[in-house]
Amino acid sequence: MTGDTRQRKIRIRRTLIVAAFGIALVLFMWQGARLAREQALTELRHAAGNALQLSRANLIGYLTRHDYLPHLLATRESVRRFLARDERTRDTLTLNQLLDRSRAYADVSDIYLLDRDGTTIAASNWQRTDSFMGQNYAFRGYYRQAINGRSGRFHALGTQSGARGYYFSAPVRAIGHASNTPPDGVMVVKVGLDEIEREWQSLDATLLVADINGIIFMSSDPALRLTAFQPLSKSARKGLLSTRRYTDEPLPESGLRVLETLPDGARHVRLGDQDYLNLSQPLARFNWSLHILQPMRPIVRAQWLGALAAGGSWMLIALGSAIGWQRYRLRRERERFAERERQTLAHARDELERHVDARTRELVASNHHLSQEIEERKRAEQTLRQTRDELVQAARLAVLGQLAASINHELNQPLGAIRAYADNARILLARQRVDDADTNLAQISELVERMAAISAQLRQFSRKGGETLTDVSAQACFDYALRLFHARLEASEIRIVSQMSEPACWVRADPVRLEQVLVNLIGNAQQAMSDSTERQLILTVKQQDEWVVLSVADSGPGLSEEAMDYLFEPFYTTRAAGKGLGLGLSISQRIISDLGGRLEACNRPEGGALFMIHLPAATSSNAPLPEGPADA
């Protein structure tokens, strides 16, 4: 090899080393920036979520604290007498002053009274130029709700003042008119929104409230008020104009663009030339959604710092590697020099025999180690089976604990009633009113029977099922499961839709194990709908030839593709850590299989999950099921 060729190879090698060093530096800086971005994004999402939750609670408290006021004013005798008088004999000034004092005391925007036709006949702002006196508001939603006998709620721009407000209304009946007669007027309270928006402006973020049409009704940024997330359709604009909710405002687009959808419902959006992290929470009571726009400047700053830190780390690593490589080359040169001196035939023979002997010892040791691993694997499998059985029992006890908490809630109500009836009975006996006292004692007896039935439900669920299959009414099993979940479903505001066929459908099953499966499915549906705006539980029983199909459907988010693949796998769960063992559906599938049926799951076309239990129909349905759960 000539000297020029050798020098050329050295230059090529150095160029490749420098290029590899540069590529590695770029990759390190990119990875450091990515990790820093993820960490900063997590911290920013946590901070924005806390601010959003606090602002949501503050907004709900600010609006609902005046919910009582229209009802309180509607029951005042002076207001009811005012409506009962003829227009010529009414003392309008006195009532206007009363409404103005109430407005100042409650710290609200305006209070006014509408007659049966929706015309303002008294108002707290009667002396102002933009007074509501004589104005007709029959087109407003709060008037239509209250004139139909219900409490009214409505948000809109004022047609006189142009100020945004949230309206509460209540029906008013004149003196001498019973509560079941049509209202004679409507009391309205308007709450201004500027104060809560001023509090939002102290945050290092933008808060905004959008209605069901995507119109931004409230915002800490005045430029976003009365704009829309998406262009409004003609039908939506027509509906808004009918109620004059936003008067004649053009409602242009806000210019908010979604750039990326992030985990946990967060979004990366852009408004103008600035990027934001967007989180939202529903305000189901008002049919609104609350959004927060958190600037992403800290994330960009964290990315640069992460890239610089990663680049510096790579430089240190490269320097250390270069030093290590140089020492390695020197050591290799010394080893090659020594190796050339030991290359003799005798040494090669001795080396071969040594390697053979060492390899034999390694094989013996490997066989011994393999035998030990086989024994350890057997012990591990035995431990795994024992642990799995313990987890199955833990899952059942967890469900039992949740049901016990619900039944404890159910027992508190009759216990309070028993105490009240007992105290009344003592007073009645002291007054020699024996018949009335007997009535109270009869009520106590009925409540005790109700508590015994509730306790029997818990004993029924806690006992083990039998191996013998009997004729079981599918509808009665659903009724039992619903009784156990009555308190939890009512607390979660879940509406139950029962689609049971008549007459009752009978299956061959063990009632205890079948009821356990239904309790598990209903509990999963209740958990799935915890964040849903519309909460509806649909229970269905129908017979198809020789099979009976029991269905449990919900209006939750449904099942993901990953969940569909691993739904019945043991220990698989979509809940947060510590919220479930992932054994409920696996155990339920095994129970239904033992009963000779099958358990299937799918997503409903209209949204939500659907679980279907297929069980063989009973050949005879003559044996009736007991009215309540049997005693253990």
Q: Are 501 and 542 in contact (CB under 8 A)?
A: yes
Phi, psi of 310 (to 5 degrees): -65, -40
Q: What is the mean pLDDT of residues 551-564?
A: 88
Please give the CATH topology (third level) of the domain spanning 69-192.
Answer: Beta-Lactamase (3.30.450)
Q: What is the DSSP letter of 136?
A: B
pLDDT in tens, 253-272: 888 888 888 887 888 888 88
Percent with pLDDT over 70 in the chain: 87
Taking 70 as the threshold, does the pLDDT of residue 534 lie above it? Answer: yes
* Secondary structure class of 437 (helix, strand, coil): helix
Q: What is the mean pLDDT of residues 135-159?
A: 88
pLDDT in tens, 471-528: 888 888 888 888 877 777 888 888 988 888 778 889 988 888 888 889 889 988 888 8
Q: Which pLDDT score, from 0 to 100, does residue 551 have?
A: 94
Confidence of residue 612 (pLDDT cuts 50, 70, 90): very high
> For tokens 């509090």, what's the residue?
199
For the record, the structure tokens of 612 come out as 């279907």
| Class of domain 466-616 as given by CATH | alpha beta
pLDDT in tens, 102-129: 999 988 989 999 999 999 999 999 998 8
Q: Which pLDDT score, from 0 to 100, does residue 447 have?
A: 66
SS3 percent helix, strand, coil of the chain, rounded to 5, is: 55, 20, 30
Taking 60 as the threshold, does the pLDDT of residue 624 lie above it? Answer: no
Q: Tell me the C-alpha distance between 193 and 72, whole Å.
A: 22
pLDDT in tens, 568-585: 777 667 766 555 656 778
**Of the candidates 47, 29, 43, 37, the residue with the CA atom closest to the CA atom of residue 300:** 37
Summary mean pLDDT of the chain: 81
pLDDT in tens, 13-59: 878 777 777 787 787 777 777 787 778 788 888 888 888 888 889 88
Taking 60 as the threshold, does the pLDDT of residue 453 lie above it? Answer: no
Confidence of residue 629 (pLDDT cuts 50, 70, 90): very low
Q: Are 487 and 410 in contact (CB under 8 A)?
A: yes
Q: Which pLDDT score, from 0 to 100, does residue 388 have?
A: 53
Q: Which residues of 26-54 are buried (b: 16+ CB within 10 A; e: fewer)?
A: eebbeebbebbbeebbeebbebbbebbee
> For tokens 């009978």, what's the residue?
506
Taking 60 as the threshold, does the pLDDT of residue 345 lie above it? Answer: yes
pLDDT in tens, 383-403: 766 665 565 455 555 555 655
pLDDT in tens, 242-252: 777 887 778 88
Q: Which pLDDT score, from 0 to 100, does residue 395 have?
A: 54
Confidence of residue 602 (pLDDT cuts 50, 70, 90): very high
C-alpha distances in Å from residue 372, one per residue of 234, 360, 367, 375: 77, 19, 9, 5
**Of the candidates 255, 261, 253, the residue with the CA atom closest to the CA atom of residue 277:** 261
Q: Are 177 and 193 in contact (CB under 8 A)?
A: no
Confidence of residue 616 (pLDDT cuts 50, 70, 90): very high
User: Which is more confidently placed, 192 or 630?
Assistant: 192
Confidence of residue 623 (pLDDT cuts 50, 70, 90): very low
Q: Tell me the C-alpha distance between 77 and 59, whole Å.
A: 32
Overall pTM surpassing 0.75 (yes/no): no
Q: Which pLDDT score, from 0 to 100, does residue 578 have?
A: 53
